[in-house]
Amino acid sequence: MAGGGGKSFLAEAGYGEQELDANSALMELDKGLRSGKLGEQCEAVVRFPRLFQKYPFPILINSAFLKLADVFRVGNNFLRLCVLKVTQQSEKHLEKILNVDEFVKRVFSVIHSNDPVARAITLRMLGSMASIIPERKNAHHSIRQSLDSHDNVEVEAAIFAAANFSAQSKDFAAGICNKISEMIQGLATPVDLKLKLIPILQHMHHDASLASSSRQLLQQLVTSYPSTKMVIVTLHTFTLLAASSLVDIPKQVQLLLQYLKNDPRKAVKRLAIQDLKLLANKTPHTWTRENIQALCESALHTPYDSLKLGMLSVLSTLSGTIAIKQYFSSATGTAATTARSFDLVKLAQECCYHNNRGIAAHGVRILTNISASCQEKDLLPLEQDAVFGLESLLVLCSQDGSPGAQATLKITLTCMVKLVKSRPHLSQSVVESLLTQLHSAQDAARILMCHCLAAIAMQLPVLADGMLGDLMDLYKVIGRSATDKKQELLVSLATVIFVSSQKALSSEIKTVIKQQLENVSNGWTAYRIARQASRMGNHDMARELYQSLLTQVASEHFYFWLNSLKEFSHAEQCLTGLQEDNYSSALSCIAEALKSYHKGIASLTAASTPLNPLSFQCGFVKLRIDLLQAFSQLICTCNSLKTSPPPAIATTIAMTSGNDLQRCGRISNQMKLSMEEFRNLAARYGDLYQSSFDADSATLRNVELQQQSCLLISHAIEALILDPESANFQEYTSNGTAHVESEYERRMMSVFNRVLEEVESLNRKYAPVSYLHTACLCSAVIALLKVPLSFQRYFFQKLQSTSIKLALSPSPRNPAEPIAVQNNQQLALKVEGVVQHGSKPGLFRKIQSVCLNVSSVLQSKSGQDYKIPIDNMSNEMEQRVEPHNDYFSTQFLLNFVILGTHNITVESSVIDSNGIVWKTGPKTTIFVKSLEDPYSQQVRLQQQQGQPSSQQQQQRTAYSRF
């Protein structure tokens, strides 16, 4: 819940040391490469991967790899080995080498060495580069030759290269397949070499005939060479080939099940189980009922716990997929009579109370998955079995502090959350067993159990007030020591308390929490608890904790960050005093909240740094300020109906002007402005959502709820006052609260539904505009503000970090200096980019493609005005590119017909795997100066010079007459 694993925003804001630019860094390493000392040369070589990471653009990487190729060509074998390691570490940068031919030429020259070790290193180097030179015939030929070498080191290197090239090149795979086959079947080939050659066949999946011939060869091998090592290597290669070619997976599952059942060797059985697990993860839909049945029978009959554990692991993987539905649906007989008689169910029930913890965990996991997946069936006995199994495992593992017990406990608690989510009627018994066990459990187990309790309580309001007493007693007990586990437990338990009492914390609970924090906690623990309080809407508690931490930080940026959080919490606390029908006090509460928010945003701005601008936090808070101001303005507008009601002749004016809104008086125009303001706010919330690519789903849902509240109020204004006749309530009706993920969302959805019902009811009964309509709007505003705002995780923590770095060419040496282009030519603008990730890439969403938008605007005009087609006036282009190894590049052709300075803007946005566009940036700008081409300039000058001379000639002829 409140894990410290994610980096806080301010922790990322380093004030790093001065770093060299790319050229200086490369020159520094080049100096090391030229050194006469071997140690300095090696040190320079091994520092290249760090350089590539810092400056991942082709111009530097190309130069660097050419320098490394030179070292490889002239250096000794140890230096070559270092270059090989660098190449393998930097595999994703290889495709950025521009001079591939030159690079390969320098490396390949070593293949003709008399030293077999040098040749072996070269072959491994070529194999590591297979992705950029898959069809190089000289490399193919060298690998074939080296496979026949008498030196074992060279042959092993050739096998490595052959495997890599087979994976990349269809031609090489087809050509080498027969050679590999002959070597494997040849009597002269030693067995250990055969074991290394067989895995190459896993890459023979480029077409059906190649895959089929490879399967036939593997089938022969598995029968011809029955030794344990050969069977294991052959079967595993068989599985990997099937997984890549896809067509033979059902046959492979049957083959593995056959070996699992019939082969007496435990090593072979273990390999079969491992490969079945691989296929269960990759293609669960290809498993038939017969396959699962055969696996169940093997698990029921095996006397070995280690094998049973492996088989249950495969079955538990399958039970969480579509395979489990196929297993039950394809059975004969009615579901009610056969549900408990299935072998899978029997096996799971038998294993639930097994003395091996791992087996028991997989047993309850299977029962949980069956209960969750097959909801259309009456599985009440299975549900009870699952609950009893989970409770017994909970008792067993919570008392044991060993790593194995903790791993089993995690599986158990995950199953509990899943079971409660799918079968809510079981929640009470599960929660009671968790609370009972909390008192006697180990600290490490208590932390996990608290996380589980909080996860359940976020989905279902199951933690009643009566349970708070137990939690508070435990809180008092654990606060007596200051170990790391106790600190973690304080945070976890506080989270459960906040979740279970989200409406308001009693003063007694606050006092207990603060006392414990003062006694044993450090500042970090107090901050994490305050963060959770802000997340759960307990702003009063959060404000006090932030206030106490202000004097405990060393950096002024941290001070301003905590001060801003304190002010935001105080602002939200002001809004809890709102009363339903007291609109004047509502205005004063909003004004007080705005005052604190303005102080907070000033502190937040001071907390930001160039490396860490806190853009999401600033955007979210500014929108909250504008939303509160819009709510305040709406209440004032509603009150204006009392202070300046419509004049007596308003109806006549409306009939005369044909505008029916005029009969409402001046309030109609004010309401129109208010509605536009709320729609504008909704659009801005949408922009904030689109710019938050790295945010977790709960944060995005929170932003979405703020956007929906703006749309709701604008719809209510339109439906009640501005256009009641054409109001459509269908598109705004909620789909229920089936997918509600938090108490905050539940309460907001409840308010949305209630407001919509009131608006629809008024819309049908009364014509606008009356005090009932304005009262309804004011009540809607107050109802929305009374739900305490939740500051979600992304406000505090960034678990995923993704950024794009763009490089444009041509680019000027000085950013303010324009690039000169003739107006009769087109500029080829090359845009290159690198996607940079944090420590957990793709945690919430992954980049599928990058959308690049290029536009140009004329900044200043020079020269004469010409009549130019509108098409040539501006450039507006868009391209989508898919990054490969986090790198992408594309080109744009731009016209600059009009003379003058043009401003070119390149903006990037990303598209995730679901096709959603995210406006992540960045935006890069360059200037282009369009110059007149020399020929046109010459013609124009000649024309300009020709006009005065002809005028002089005419004057002369006129004078000559006299």
pLDDT tens-digit series, residues 937-950: 778 788 878 765 55
Higher pLDDT, 777 or 10: 777
Q: What is the structure's pLDDT at 663?
A: 58
Q: Do 842 and 949 have their domain in common? A: no
Lowest-confidence region among 231-240, 912-921, 926-935 = 926-935
Q: What is the structure's pLDDT at 378?
A: 63
What residues contact residue 263 under an 8 Å CB cut-off, 6+ apart? Answer: 231, 269, 272
Would you say residue 9 has pLDDT above 50?
no
Question: Could you tell me where the DSSP H helices lie in 225-287?
Answer: 228-245, 249-262, 266-282
Q: What is the structure's pLDDT at 119?
A: 96
Q: What is the pLDDT of residues 917-926, one digit of tens each?
A: 999 889 999 9
Q: Do 762 and 640 have their domain in common? A: yes
Beta strand pairing status for 819-822 and 923-931? parallel
Q: What is the structure's pLDDT at 872?
A: 53
Task: Look at residue 3 and tell me if it is in a domain.
Answer: yes
Q: Which of 124, 153, 168 is the last residue of a domain?
A: 168
How far apart CA 728 and CA 170 sit, in angstroms, is: 60
Q: Residue 137 in 3-state DSSP?
A: helix
pTM for this model (two decimals): 0.86
Q: Residue 831 in 3-state DSSP?
A: strand
Say if residues 361 and 412 touch (Cβ distance below 8 Å).
yes
- The CA–CA distances, whole Å, from 431 to 423, 461, 538, 656, 781 equal 13, 11, 23, 68, 36
Confidence label for 436 from pLDDT (cuts 50, 70 and 90)? confident
Would you say residue 731 has pLDDT above 80?
no
Higher pLDDT, 135 or 933: 135
Q: Do 654 and 753 have their domain in common? A: yes
Q: Do 622 and 749 have their domain in common? A: yes
Say if residues 210 and 177 touch (Cβ distance below 8 Å).
yes
Q: What would the mean pLDDT of 145-153 be, rounded to a whole number?
A: 93
Confidence label for 19 from pLDDT (cuts 50, 70 and 90)? very low
Angle of CA points 54, 56, 57, to nearest 5°: 135
Confidence label for 959 from pLDDT (cuts 50, 70 and 90)? very low
How far apart CA 223 and CA 210 sit, in angstroms, is: 20
How far apart CA 237 and CA 163 sit, in angstroms, is: 12
Q: What is the pLDDT of residues 219-239, one digit of tens each?
A: 998 888 889 999 999 999 999
Q: Do 808 and 783 have their domain in common? A: no
Q: Which of 168, 193, 222 is the last residue of a domain?
A: 168
Q: What is the pLDDT of residues 55-69, one digit of tens each?
A: 898 989 999 999 999
Confidence label for 12 from pLDDT (cuts 50, 70 and 90)? very low
Q: What is the structure's pLDDT at 957?
A: 52
Tell me: cis bond preceding 491? Omega within 30 of 0 counts: no
Q: Do 567 and 689 have their domain in common? A: yes
Q: What is the pLDDT of residues 591-612, one digit of tens each?
A: 999 999 999 999 999 999 888 8
- The CA–CA distances, whole Å, from 209 to 212, 214, 247, 441 equal 5, 9, 12, 60
Q: What is the pLDDT of residues 21-37, one digit of tens each?
A: 778 888 888 898 888 89
Q: Do 631 and 503 have their domain in common? A: no
Q: What is the structure's pLDDT at 737?
A: 45
Task: Look at residue 239 and tell me if it is in a domain.
Answer: no
DSSP 890: E
Q: What is the pLDDT of residues 167-204, one digit of tens each?
A: 999 999 999 999 999 999 888 889 999 999 999 999 99
HEC letters along 601-623 = HHHHHHHCCCCCCCHHHHHHHHH
| Residue recorded with tokens 């060298």 | 142
Would you say residue 785 has pLDDT above 80?
yes
Q: Do 560 and 687 have their domain in common? A: yes
Cα Rg of the chain, angstroms: 36
Say if residues 625 and 599 touch (Cβ distance below 8 Å).
no
Calculate what percentage of the chain has a pLDDT beyond 90: 53
Q: What would the mean pLDDT of 430-446 be, rounded to a whole number?
A: 87
748: nearest Cα among 759, 734, 762, 760? 734
Q: What is the CATH number of the domain that holds 138?
A: 1.25.10.10
Task: Look at residue 912 and tell me if it is in a domain.
Answer: yes
Task: Look at residue 183 and tell me if it is in a domain.
Answer: no
Task: Look at residue 444 and tell me if it is in a domain.
Answer: no
Q: Do 641 and 759 have their domain in common? A: yes
Task: Look at residue 594 and tell me if it is in a domain.
Answer: yes
Q: Do 673 and 807 have their domain in common? A: no
Say if residues 809 and 853 touch (Cβ distance below 8 Å).
no
Say if residues 455 and 500 touch (Cβ distance below 8 Å).
no
What residues contact residue 143 under an 8 Å CB cut-off, 6+ apart? Answer: 123, 126, 158, 161, 162, 165, 176
DSSP 12: G
Amino acid type, 861 = K
Would you say residue 146 has pLDDT above 50?
yes
Structural domain range at position 592:
553-796
Task: Look at residue 179 and tell me if it is in a domain.
Answer: no
Q: What is the structure's pLDDT at 259?
A: 94
Q: What is the structure's pLDDT at 42?
A: 93
Would you say residue 657 has pLDDT above 90?
no
Q: Do 655 and 791 have their domain in common? A: yes
678-690: burial string, b at 16+ Cβ within 10 Å, e else: bbebbebbeebbe
Q: What is the pLDDT of residues 621-640, one digit of tens each?
A: 999 999 999 999 999 988 88
Would you say residue 958 has pLDDT above 70?
no
How far apart CA 398 and CA 394 sit, in angstroms, is: 6
Q: What would the mean pLDDT of 769-775 be, rounded to a whole number?
A: 81
Q: What is the structure's pLDDT at 705?
A: 95
Number of domains comprising the chain: 5
Q: Do 816 and 941 have their domain in common? A: no
Q: What is the pLDDT of residues 516-570, one digit of tens each?
A: 777 766 888 899 999 999 998 899 999 999 999 998 888 899 999 999 999 999 9
Q: What would the mean pLDDT of 100-128 be, rounded to a whole number?
A: 95
Q: Which residues pair with 860 in a beta bridge?
A: 901
Q: What is the CATH number of the domain that holds 847?
A: 2.60.40.1940
Q: Which of 168, 200, 235 is the last residue of a domain?
A: 168
How far apart CA 58 and CA 96 sit, in angstroms, is: 5
Confidence label for 670 from pLDDT (cuts 50, 70 and 90)? confident
Task: Look at residue 863 and tell me if it is in a domain.
Answer: yes
